[in-house]
Structure 1
């Protein structure tokens, strides 16, 4: 250690998090006092000594967590074994349940120096390591994915964990619901028999285009939320910007230099004075930050340009009676910030002639880094708890630094097969960059999962706005393709004039499923109908049918009605919290075959028919196979078609099936 002053400390620390106020236990050597000390900080506050011992360095130190017992040890032996207590001297131990979940173990150096904290303590340590007790082999990290989304909530589901899933927000369980009021990155770990994996992939909710962040400014009366979907932004917000302290919903990008923000306001849910949506230039996310905002008030039907700066208040600069839909633009060029509007079909962001100037101000408050974004709130003259829901399109920021972005390319499907779609971009004289990371005019994409693709065009370093979006595979409205779990061979799907072709491998034997699924999300009472017309394989375990499922998690509960082309049986199977893939009923039959799964309250019934055209809503046209009672699907659930090949050990075999007349109906 470089210093010999009291307060120069080096050692090891167990810590609940990286927060400056986190709980900890530290075992450190003080080179000034020549004492080894064991200290604790918890909710009772302070940096509390537990035990200490006069000693010298070099010295080995060890901090050991075993259940709720945390013990501090030291040794001056040549090479004490980390897992042999006999090689160490116990300094002291404490009992604490504060570290039962995830925690941090590490080394540290600092210099309290009794008032001279600016002194630097330089220390050297060797043989630094962490070791797991009980021969613990951590499981693999889980994989997390978005399994459903709406305006104010996102469902995240973890797969690949045979134990307990712990989320970074403190939640426990395979699936969690998170809000979209602030941009937050979520991860998960898997704990099996006391051993915890590393963290999963990270997913940020809400899912916004690159560079954008959602944040509630201040404390709105009701939290806002945001969703961006294929270029349409939906914002909900309450609160106000009346006084020097703001409370509202803001979605922004961090900028510097000269920039423009453009948006088109298409709708607003309220017509009360004070319901406002627009664009804002802001110095920071502090509730008292300076800003310039250009907003439309749906109650007064005025577009207004307001400023708040060090002089305080929310000061009107200019206003204009108008209506929506309405394009708005805020432009920062040096110290000049100007507000513009247009009701043209498609005004160019960088052509002033396409816009009407509302007003401009001069301000040097935004010469460094600043925020440009969109916002929604409801001043409502005293009723700030009212929610203003607005929709905006064509939201984008552009740099004025001599760069003129080219026009956005147009993308189209130029060829398609069951398992591949070719997308081609036109209208770009430069480099086409695709949202999946590919580069080039044309790309081949698979059809195993529903994915929305866009492209941009870059010319001389200037990049266009995003193109139109195309989702592959192209399915009827509301349908989504997804590989459940990890099938041995990825499946694919194509719908063409009412004929669905599905390829799939995998199985649903155990509690973890791996297969090809195409589904719609439903609530309430629903029927799914399909006609199986052909299947490519005739081996037992080759299955096609319909499935009601609680989620896309590989361990989700389900009820499936499938035809096995090898056994030539139609079967009704269930998997729930008791585990397994449990047969309920079966019937020898042949294809072509109509099948129907019907959810009515807690009763789920399985039906079949070989009539020419049975009506989906007429039980008399169908033969009942069996029924079960289950309350597992009282909320949101999935109804879909699936294809896989259990094949009794040969799960890499592909089952290609064709179905027609696939539909879901509510009653």
Structure 2
């Protein structure tokens, strides 16, 4: 920062302490204490500051006595302008400068502008970025042959600053003298041996400064150019005079002074969306940006996706909404244009638009559509669910609009207990991780009232599959009487009457088939274990027929074709037994219920809880078959 003497400078600082409190902040110019502040906001005012360059620091002290010193800030206090046109000011070895249109009169002393440190008087203003300065050195006072006057660009106002000086001397001609690095040594390139009046010019382009001279300000001759790696963006450009004799003033006059700054490009920053942001197609994306121009105004801000222009904003706040964006990855940027046509681009922001969320799929796998149960029923409901572009979060099970329960992990299922008689429409609703839902096809089931025939506690009976006449079951100690109709217990769907109870886990059922009414030679009666009460359910059936002997028949997979293993050709009465161990089922027959013959073993996957009981089919749709059983045990 620069000020004009006698200056008043406000110093302020921020300070914090991670493990205590700040007791005070001291402010210094070099080693000189300027003042102390003991509470936030921390600051002091430095009054009547004389011309010069000062290094300012703040020193914070905490409640434990520890101190920290801030980075130094350099400020320059210049001499009063004495009527110099704004924004010109002056600084340097004792001297003065005045302006009377169109002439600058600059008086300066100093040993030289040379070596590693300069001594001169300087009339200057800031230059931001590239630009040029032109002046005609009208006169140079003769204090010595190397008395110098000319145009200068310098990095700072420190004596050892990097600088470029295109000068006219009293008697040594024209020269381009410079110091390319802060603290470096000066070098010189001679021009012509011309004396004042003589036109001089310096042009800065990036880190290159070129020096020129001219007799008329129209036709220019380049003296030299050089690279200045120490030059910052903001420089000090102006008119320099050194007498080349310490303590002796030299006065020079300048006219036709012009300073032409280059147009600095504007800056732009895309503030939304954030880099890496994700959206779902068809997306609506709002792009916002900030833009500024240090030497002009912002004319417009254009928004781009790659090389495609999306839209334009001409006033702050700069924003544009991009609608119906398809799935893909996009590189977004904002390009600001200033009032002179210069442009500046923001950093690129990458966003991803994901495809629309695909809803999950779901299907009820149990019970089967049309299944019947005996109330109060216990019904296991299961479903398959998947999501092609995510995960399944939940599966909700409903009877009509009543939520029965929720499963959050595969296998998806629940047990619905104490279901009263009635007709029910079951559905499963899958919800994915993005909130999309899908409802399965409905499955209709019927729960009928329990048998009124006086079966033992825990026993029920029902017709299974397509029967043309209703069956029945009754119990009079120690005999079960079961009447059933149906084409068969065979192929991929059964038709029969079933007296049953529930069995969970491993177990055995034993019965003596006392009689089988002859409706057909394959009229069947026996003990059964089946997974569900659906016609196509997996099952194991150890039977005695009316005229075909004993057999172990079973269905290994739901709705699959039945298989048969023949037993003896015995007729009733005959003992039969089924044993379950995991998914292994073994079938036996016996003449006396003591000595058993194994007819077959098979692996039949079933749920943990199954239906175990007494099955009867007439093997004809034209007549019923009644069978009687005793010695029935389930264990």
> Normalization by structure 1: what TM-score?
0.33
Higher strand share: 2
Instruction: Using structure 2 for the length normalisation, give the TM-score.
Output: 0.34
- Which of the two has higher C-alpha Rg? 2
